[in-house]
Structure 1
Amino acid sequence: MRPRIPSVPRIASLPPVALAGGALTVGVGGLYLAGLLLCGGEIESGTTVRGVDIGGLTHEEATRKLEQHLVAAGPRKLTVKVGDREGSVDPRQAGLAFDIGETLDRAASTDADPVSVIGGLFRSGGEIEPVVRVDEGKARAALGKLAKTLDQKVRDGAVSFTDGRVEQTTPRAGYALNVDAAIGALRTPFLRGAADSVTVLPARETKPRVTAEEVRRAVREFAQPAMSAPVTLTAAGKRLTLTPTVLDEYLTMRPDDAGRLTPELDSKALRAAPAVTGALNGLPTTPRNARLGLKGDKAVVTADARLGVEVTDKALGKAVLPLLTKPEGAARTGEVETRQIQPEVTRENAARLGLTEKMSSFTVNFEPAAYRTTNVGRAVELINGSVVMPDETWSFNQTVGERTEANGFVDGIMIYDDQYAKAPGGGVSAVATTVFNAMFFAGVKPVEYGAHSFYIERYPEGREATVAWGSLDLRFTNDSGKAVYIQAESTDTSVTVTFLGTKKYDDITSVKGPRTDVQQPETTVSTAERCVPQTPLEGFDVTVDRVFHDDGREVRREPFRTHYTPRNEITCEETPSTRQP
C-alpha cells in the first residue's frame, strides 16, 4: 500500500492555463507545490470503477459511492458447467464480493514523491479493476453442494440381451468437480459480471473403460449373430433347440482388464433351464448296478448294469458358445459331449468284487396294514441293490432319506415318547430290524444302532433296531474285505433282507441271555386326539452274544446289550373336543 500524505485544500479558482504559466516561472519547486495543492485529494481525477466515476473524491466519498453502485452491479448468479452438466452458483452464498477498500487503495493517488505529484498535474486516473474477495469457507461449502448435482459417474459401454434382442449402453465419461481449484476459478466470471456466459469449472475426468467403438465391435461380431437364430444341439441321441429368447437370460458380455467385451454363458443356470432339462429328461443320468439274486446259496447276475450319461454344465457351454457367432442361414448345430458314469457292479466284475455267495438273510413278519405295506415297500425299494465296498460305511437314513410324503411315505403307527403315536414313516422299523439282523449274521461291524424304547413281540429280543430322522441312524462298516450287495424285498406281511458277498466266517450264531432287572408296567388313561391304545408289557434288560465260528469252532463273541422300559397300558377315552360328530 502506498504511503499517504495529509490532504491539502484545493484551490478551485486557479485556472489551469494560469497555473501552467505560473509553473514555468516558479520552476520545479513551484510545480511540486502546485501538484500538492491540486492533487492533494486521495482519488485522481478521471478515475472510474466499472463506470462509476470516483475521480477527485475523498476516500470516504468514494467508498459510499461504490457501495451504492458497484455492489448492485455484481452478477446475481454465475452459470457454471462440470463436464456436460450445467448449474448455477449464487455469488453471495459462495462468499464472492467486491473488496471496496482494496479497490480504493488501488485508485488512491497518495505518493508524496515529486515525480508522482508533478505527474498528477498532467494525467487522469482512468478505469480501475475492482478487487474481488472470496470467503473460502463459504465457497467450499457452495461448491461441495454443487458437486452433488453436477458430478457424473463414469458409465462403461455395455451390451445386453432382452427378449431375444440386443441392447446397447452408450459409454459416458465421469466428472468430479475439483473444489479446491474451482474456488479460484469463480473470481473471473464474478469480476466479468456476465451472468449469461458459462464458466467451465475444473474437474477430474474419468474415461470409460469400454468405449463406444468397442460396443459397436461387440454387437457386430458377437451380439447380433448370437440373437439371429436358434441353435440346435444333440446329446446322447437327444435333440434340443435353444432359441434367442431362451439364451438371452443366460448370456452376458463382460469387459476384461483391457476393456474388451467378451461373452459369458451361465452354463449352470442354462443346464437347469426347462428347455434343456425337458429335452434331456430321458437320459439315464445315474448308472444302475447289475441286479443280483441267488441260485441256491450262490450269487448270480439277474439283470445287466446300465451306464449313466451326464451332460455337464461345462460341456453344454462349450457346445453352445461357438455356434452363436455363426451367421443366420449357416448351420448352427452341434454335439454336446457327454460323460459316461460307470456302475460299481457289472456282470463282468461281480465275481472280482467278491459278490459270490449269500452271507446272511433275515425275514421279519408283521400284521398287514395299508400304511405298513406302503412304508415298508418304499424303504425296501430305496435299499434294494445297495453296494457297500470294503471299509465303506452304509447308512439307513442316508439311503432311505427322510420319511416324508414327498419321499413316498405316509402316516403310520410308531413309538414316540415311550408310547404308540401316529407319525410319517410308521412301520419302517420293521425294515431297520431286518437290516440289523442281516448285518448281525453277515458278521460286519455295527457303527450306530438303537433298539425300541420298549419291547415289541414280533422282533427277537435284543436283536432289533429302530431309526429316527435326524437323531438315530442304523449304520455299519463293511469290514469283510470284499464288496457287499444288499438285496431287499417285501410283501404285505413280511420283509426280507439278504447280504451277498464273501463270508469271512464259516458261521455266525446268536445266544440270548435271560431277562434281568424286570419292571412292571403301569395303567393310564389318555384323552389325546391322536391316542393309540397300548397293551401292557414288562420292561427288562437282555444281552445277546454274536458268536463267530470258523473251522468248526468258536473264535470269538460280541455282546449286544439292550434295555427295555415297561410298556404301560394305555386306554383311550373320548372327550367332547375329540368325539367325532
Structure 2
Amino acid sequence: MDTAKADVVLRSRYEARSTQPLDLTIADVREQIVPAAAGLEIDWDGTWARVGDQPANPFTRLASFFTTREVPVATAVDEAALDRTFTEIRVHDIPTVEGTIRFDGTRPVGVPPVQGRVLDGAGARDTLLNGWVTAQTLDLPVMPAPLTVRPEAVDETLRAVAQPAVSAPIRFTGRDGDAELTPAQTATVLTFVPDGSGGLAPVFDVPALTGLLAPQLAKSEVEPKDASFAVGGGSARVVPGIVGEKVNWPKTLEQLAALAVASGAGRSGQAVYEKVEPKLTTQAAEALRIVEPVGAFTTSGFSGPSGVNIRTVAQKVNGAVVKPGDTFSLNEYTGPRGAAEGYVESGIIDHGRPSTAVGGGISQFATTLYNAAYFAGMEDAGHTEHSYYISRYPAAREATVFDGAIDLQFRNNTENGIYIEALAGGSDITVRLWGTKTVNVESVTGERTKPTEPTTVTLPEGKDCIASSGAPGFTISDTRIIRDARSGQEISRHTRTVKYDPVPVVKCEKKDEDKEGE
C-alpha cells in the first residue's frame, strides 16, 4: 500500500485511541485511565520510521503478500503526566504489615508479618508503552512489598524478650526504698520495632516509665533550692542555696533492657542519682555583691480591691534577682495577672476615663518600682506614663502597666546584682532595690505648663459610668541627675517631658423614660 494511503488507514483506526478509556488490572484491582491524560500520544513520524520504506528487492515485495511483520507503535510520552498517573494508581499498593509483638494484658502475642504487594514501576511502564494503543485491557505487573521483619524473628523475640519481660516485677533500688515496675505496667510501656536486620528490637517508653517510677523514689530525692538574700537593718546577706540530688531516670533506665530478660535477683537494679545545682548557687549569689540598699520608694493611698492586687503582685516580685546586664520586665516576671492568679477587679483608666478591670491598681506598684529603680540609677528600658495625672504619684516620674500590652522594664547597668524587696501593707507599698551603691540620684521636677481644660462626658447611669469631677491637663518635665557616690562628680543628666491629658468631667444621668419610649 502507498505510504500516504496507509497512514490514512492507520490514523482512522488508532488516532482517537489516546482519548478513549483504557482498562487496567493491578492484581485483583481494576483501574481505568485516559492515555492522553496520562501523557501518552502516538508518535506518527516515529512509527513510520519503524515501518521503513518499500524494499527494493522484488522477491521481498512479492513475499510481503504472504507474510506479516509486526511493528511496535512509537509513543510520545509526557513524563510528568505519566509520573502523576503512576502516583495515582499506586494507591492500590498494599504495604506489608510488619510482624510484631503486642500484649493482651500481660500475655505477649506474636503478630506474624503479612507481605503486601506494590506496582512494578519499570515493568508497568513497559507494559503500558507497548500495549496501550492496541489492547483493550492491560495487566500491570506487581511485585512483593518489602518485608522488614522475618517471620521467624517474631517467634524468637517472643520467647527471648517479651515473655521474660512480663514474667515478674522489675525493681530499682533507691536510697530510701524501691521503685517497682509490675508485669502489667511493663506491658504498657514495652513495644517492638524492626531492628534493621530482619529482627525485632524492644523499645521502652522512657517518659511513661519515669511517670510510673519517679513518684516511688521521690522521698529519696533532695530538691535544689536557689540561694537567696536576707535583707534588713541596712544590710543584706546571702542565704546559701541547696544542691539537689535527683534520680537520673534516663540513665537509670538504660539497665532496663538487661533487667527485663533476667530472672530472680537479676531483675533488680540500682537507681542512679546525680547532683542538681540550683539556678542561683551560693557562690554565684555571693559574687553578685548584694550588700546594701541602692534605691527605694514608697507610695500610699490605696485600699480595698486595689490593695489586694498590689499585695499580690508585691509578693510575686519580692525576692527577684536581676543580674548585671539583664533587663527586668514586670509583665514577663509576673506572667498573666488574672483572676486565676489571685487578682480581683479594681479601678483602671480606660481611654481617659475611670473604669474597672481585673488587676486594677497594679500601676501603683509599677510606679513604686519605677521610682526605686530610678533612684538606684538603673537604666530605663521602657515605661509609659498614665494618660492623665494622678495626684498620689510624682508628676513625670510614674508608670502604668497593662497585662500583656504595656510593660515596665529597667536594665541593671551596674557590675553588681540587684535584689528587689517589695513590701505591701494595708495602704502603702515600698519597693527597695539592694546591691552595691555606686551612685547618688537627684530628681528635679519642672513647673507645670500648657494647661488644658477638661471636656464633659455624659453617660447613662449604671456600672459602666464612674462619675468624675475632672481636672485640667498640663505638661511637665523631670530631670534625673546621676552622680558618682564617692566623688560627687556628675555622670549623666537626662530630662523627660510628659504631657498629661485633662481628666474629663463624667456625669452619670438617668435615662429619660419618655424620650426612650418615643
TM-score, normalising length from structure 1? 0.63
- Once structures 1 and 2 are overlaid, which stretch shifts more, 237-246 or 223-232? 237-246
- Identity among equivalent positions (%) equals 29
Match of 2:455 in 1: 522
Deviations 1:146-188 (A, max 9, x none): x99997532211123464443432112223577979x9xxxxx
Number of the residue aligned with 2:334: 400
Distance 1:149 1:571 in 2: 73
Question: What runs of 5+ residues in structure 2 fail to find an aligned partner?
Answer: 1-24, 31-85, 128-139, 514-518
Question: In structure 2, what is the equivalent of residue 60 of structure 1?
Answer: none
The answer as to whether partners of 1:377 and 1:490 remain within 8 angstroms in 2 is: yes
Q: Paired residue for 1:172?
A: 114
Q: Equivalent residue for 1:156? A: 98
Q: Name the structure 2 match of 1:287.
A: 225
Contact kept? 2:224, 2:241, Cα under 8 Å: no
| Other-structure match for 1:425 | 359
The equivalent of 2:271 in structure 1 is 335
The number of residue pairs the alignment matches comes to 415
Q: Distance in 1 between matches of 2:396 and 2:222?
A: 43
Match of 1:537 among 458, 464, 471: 471
User: Which of the residues 197, 217, 221 maps onto 2:156?
Assistant: 217
For residue 570 of structure 1, what is the amino acid of its counterpart? V
| Residue in structure 2 matched with residue 512 of structure 1 by the alignment | 445
Name the residue aligned to 2:430: 496
Please tell me the residue identity of whatever aligns with 1:210: V
Distance 2:362 2:451 in 1: 28
Task: Report the aligned-residue RMSD.
Answer: 3.7
Which segment is superposed worse, 425-434 or 414-423? 414-423
- Is 1:445 aligned with 2:379? yes
Which deviations, in whole Å up to 9, do the C-alpha atoms of 1:290-339 show, x marking residues without a partner? 2320232x2224x4423455666634643655543333665434314345
1:351–1:289 distance in 2 versus 1, CA, 3 Å: closer
Task: Show the 5 A alignment for 1:99-110.
Answer: none
Q: 2:406 aligned with 1:472, yes or no?
A: yes
What whole-Å deviation, never above 9, does each CA across 1:382-432 have from its counterpart, x for those lacking one?
Answer: 211111111111111111111122222222221222222221211111211
Write the mapping of 1:221-236 to structure 2, written as runs, cut at 5 A: 221-233=160-172
Q: Indicate if the aligned counterparts of 1:155 and 1:172 stay in contact, CA closer than 8 A.
A: yes
- What are the residue-to-residue correspondences of 1:169-208 with 2, within 5 Å? 169-176=111-118, 204-208=143-147
- 1:306-385 alignment to 2 at 5 Å? 306-308=242-244, 314-315=250-251, 317-318=253-254, 320-327=256-263, 330-344=266-280, 346=282, 350-369=285-304, 371-385=305-319
User: Aligned letter for 2:101?
Assistant: V
Which has the greater radius of gyration? Answer: 1
Unaligned runs of 5+ in 1: 1-79, 90-143, 184-200
Q: Deviations over 1:522-572 (max 9, x none)?
A: 222223643333341222221111111222343421222222111112233
Q: In the TM superposition, what is the alpha-carbon distance from 1:257 to its structure 2 partner? A: 2.5
Match of 1:255 among 194, 219, 232: 194
Give 1:277 shift: 6.0
Provide the C-alpha distance between the structure 1 equivalents of 2:411 and 2:340, rounded to a whole number of angstroms: 29
Deviations 1:352-400, CA, capped at 9 Å, x for gaps: 321121111111213221x223222221222111111111111111111
Measured in 2, the distance between the counterparts of 1:227 and 1:260 equals 20
Aligned residue in 2 for 1:133 = none
CA distance in 1, matches of 2:325, 2:449: 36
2 CA distance for matches of 1:158 and 1:282?
Answer: 38
SS at match of 2:227: coil
